[in-house]
Structure 1
Amino acid sequence: MLVSVVALAALAPSVARAQTAPRPPDRQWGSWAIGTAVLPGGPKGWGGYFELQARSNALLREFFYNEIKGGVSYNVTDNFTVLLGIGRYSTADYRDLSEGYLALERRVWQQYTFTQPVGRIKLEHRFRVEQRWTRFRDDVVPVNQARYRGRQRYRLSAVLPLNNPTMQPGTAFLSVYNEVFLDPRGPYFERNRAYAGAGVQLNRGVTVQDAWLNQVDWLPARAQAGTGQFIARGRQYKNNLVLSVVYRIARAKAEDKPAPFTPFQAD
């Protein structure tokens, strides 16, 4: 519990700064649509997930970004899980999608997740180490090369069931998290995400959730192209409406009962 309180206290200033940061030129809200299929860990501990995600520059229109990713997980204990993931991330110009991607990233990551009950609330501490290879449409580097960057992420999540003491079919819940992104090459504090949502577990297999997500990006200091003028490090943020559906795949054998389900966001 002490660890959780300290972590929340450390992250709180980041969230506060996010609310006072200047808006980017585009003042519209964006939206994220997320569909996830989860195979919960069984008696032998092995599980996994697959996810499709699309993001738009405005509410449910001007889509410019998509993700295809998945991972294999192993439950070391009831409250500690490791995962190896891989994904493809594509960014385009929503005004002319026929031109193809502006940036295409392939990513591999290793993830370590700890869960912690505090009364009816369940906390999740998630640590992720990423290896990222990105190509840009106008790159002059050889086709068989890509720009590499590493990154580390930490996310603290909390889920509170409202009308039942634990998660079960028909349970409404609240969900919040804050996540920080750290880049070892700088700017070291790269990004912050703050999330607050509500949802319901419709049945044993399907959970739906709607949420607000605020993303803040810290931009590195740089020289302006053409003029050479120095631009100091800045930041920009955007609010997003997140719509997510999770389908929990049932195992074939009745004895392969997964651990109790908590609707933490897979990403």
Structure 2
Amino acid sequence: MNKHVFAGLLPLLLAGPLAARAQANSTQPWGTWFIGTVILPGTSDHKLGGYAEAQARLNGVFRQYFYHELKAGVSFDIDPNFSVLVGGGRYVTSDYQDLSAGPLNVERRLWQQLTLTQVTKRLKLEHRYRIEQRWLDFRNDSSAFRQRLRYRLNAFYPLNKPTIAAGTWFLSAYDEIFLNPKGPVFERNRVYGGLGYQPTAHLILQLGFVNQANYNLPAYKAGQFIPQINSAKNNLVLAVTYKLARRSAVPATEQLPSQRD
């Protein structure tokens, strides 16, 4: 790897670990995320596309299952660097110490999304904007409705080819912020860094880590001021993506291997 390539990779290599360390007041033991996704990309001839995804999360490394989600969406490519999507999903959280007691909460979610991409000779950037509507049902028979805004900046850097296609190794890093209109306004920050490989035109494999930090609001309780604090957790991420192909599709433009979560 020559010095020019290394210089281009250095910001991606450092961004995830440094941001994760800076944002955490307290950390928890490492967890594990498994993500499986099937995508039907849009093309210049067929602008409609979509995806379906299943995800499971464990509180520890390969143990203590507590969470899963099932979701899908329909996308429309306005042009090769500009797409919109409408999606929905079901998210279930349980107590890993007592799974037989049933879910702690079940969430049903709908969202609208806009994605813009910027592609240079080597570095690829993706800006994703999302508005979410969330309906939550809790074990104690209470329910709630919440809304949330999300923005994610995702960077990709192919290692052995100028574009990400069959036979390409690549680095990926992103930072995503979650905003709650009712507070805490800055609800969550998610930082990811990983290594990916696309062995064929259809299959994408990624291994990485994500640091997810949740924030609370400053408050007064019993006459005492409680400052804003955050609780952060690192997770190992194993993601497998399969891209479907259309028989009549013309040669596709470069498609970034973004995680749909």
Q: Say whether 1:254 aligns with 2:251.
A: no
1:240 corresponding residue in structure 2: 235
Q: Say whether 1:85 aligns with 2:75.
A: no
Aligned positions, number:
245
Flag structure 2 segments of 5+ consecutive residues without an equivalent.
1-10
Task: Work out which of the residue numbers 50, 53, 68 in structure 1 matches 2:52.
Answer: 50
CA distance in 2, matches of 1:97, 1:179: 30
**Do 1:18 and 1:237's aligned partners in 2 also have CA atoms closer than 8 Å?**
no
CA distance in 2, matches of 1:17, 1:241: 13
**Do 1:18 and 1:216's aligned partners in 2 also have CA atoms closer than 8 Å?**
no
Give the match's secondary structure for 1:28: strand
CA distance in 1, matches of 2:98, 2:223: 30
For residue 258 of structure 1, report the CA deviation from its aligned partner. 4.0
Runs of 4+ in 1 over 6 A off after TM superposition: 227-230
Give the TM-score normalised by structure 1.
0.86
**Do 1:40 and 1:258's aligned partners in 2 also have CA atoms closer than 8 Å?**
no
Give CA deviations for 1:218-244 in whole Å, capped at 9, x if unaligned: 0234688xx897744321101110000
Give CA deviations for 1:181-223 in whole Å, capped at 9, x if unaligned: 0000001000001111001001011000001111111023468
Which piece of structure 1 moves more, 214-223 or 118-127?
A: 214-223
1:4 corresponding residue in structure 2: none
2:5 corresponding residue in structure 1: none
1:32 corresponding residue in structure 2: 33
For residue 79 of structure 1, report the CA deviation from its aligned partner. 0.4
For residue 17 of structure 1, report the CA deviation from its aligned partner. 7.3
2:151 corresponding residue in structure 1: 154
**Do 2:188 and 2:212's aligned partners in 1 also have CA atoms closer than 8 Å?**
yes
**Do 1:31 and 1:57's aligned partners in 2 also have CA atoms closer than 8 Å?**
yes
The residue type equivalent to 1:117 in the other structure is V
The residue type equivalent to 2:68 in the other structure is N
CA distance in 2, matches of 1:119, 1:257: 19
CA distance in 2, matches of 1:134, 1:256: 43
2:214 corresponding residue in structure 1: 217
2:258 corresponding residue in structure 1: 264
Distance 1:222 1:54, change over 3 A: farther
CA distance in 2, matches of 1:248, 1:149: 32
The residue type equivalent to 2:238 in the other structure is L
Q: Calculate the aligned-residue CA RMSD, in Å.
A: 2.1
Q: Say whether 1:175 aligns with 2:172.
A: yes
1:107 corresponding residue in structure 2: 109
CA distance in 1, matches of 2:239, 2:122: 23
Q: Say whether 1:207 aligns with 2:208.
A: no
Distance 1:32 1:44, change over 3 A: same
CA distance in 1, matches of 2:58, 2:47: 36
For residue 23 of structure 1, report the CA deviation from its aligned partner. 1.9
1:137 corresponding residue in structure 2: 139
Distance 1:178 1:94, change over 3 A: same
Flag structure 1 segments of 5+ consecutive residues without an equivalent.
1-7
1:65 corresponding residue in structure 2: 67
Distance 1:258 1:218, change over 3 A: same
